[in-house]
Amino acid sequence: MLKKIILTGFEPFGGSNANPSILACQSLVKKTIEGYEIEAIEIPLRFSEIKQIIESILIKEKPEIVICTGQSPRPVISLERIAINIASLEKVAYSCSAKPLDEILEINGREGYFSTLPIRKIKDCLEENKIPCEISNSAGTFGCNQIFYHLMHFINNNKINIPAGFIHVPSLPEQVIGKNFPSMTLELIIQSLEIAIITTIKHLL
């Protein structure tokens, strides 16, 4: 029986009709790697819905690996180290128009949770494949940090022993035309996620 890897990406937001995070995840659906089958789930960028959705995924799917992804304005693949217990926005808003300010995500939660993905090994493998990347020490205080935090909080509270974490991916070239922002091709983002998955599986063996 195949084991399961869950990838998540966010819906398009901010006026864009695409989000490279979910597009990259969806491109790997049903692919089998070392006995693991990949499933992808699109997450709405709605403040009040994210916690319930990620918890429901963990309960229903019982995956062996979870990698959540999201789009950032950074020029590289960012392997997030830590999720923090806060949501706070000033210049942007969720798709539902929610704009939390200094809001605690989990009243009884830790201040932060570390990724359990082998982020250093993933970084090394990405660099071996000439893919620009970094280990990031801040996932921000928007939807990406939120899903990362709720994911790790639920795993920790329920003593689920699986690798899980969050990866930020750059914008697509077509999203930044005329904006002078960094970008990365979808093909390279897909390759990056596949490397992250393979490295994580090897870490489990």
Whose CA is closest to 117, among 77, 167, 50?
A: 167
Contacts of 76 (CB under 8 A, 6+ apart): 132, 133, 134, 170, 184
Catalytic residue (one of 25, 39, 133, 168):
168
Catalytic residue (one of 25, 68, 80, 153):
80
153 included as an active-site residue: no
Catalytic residue (one of 25, 68, 133, 144):
144
25 included as an active-site residue: no
Q: How many residues does the chain have?
A: 205
β-pair partners for 136: 80
203 included as an active-site residue: no
| The CA-based dihedral angle spanning residues 85, 160, 198, 112, taken in that order and rounded to the nearest 10 degrees | 20
Residue 43 and residue 39: Cα distance in Å, rounded?
13
The catalytic residues are 80, 144, 168
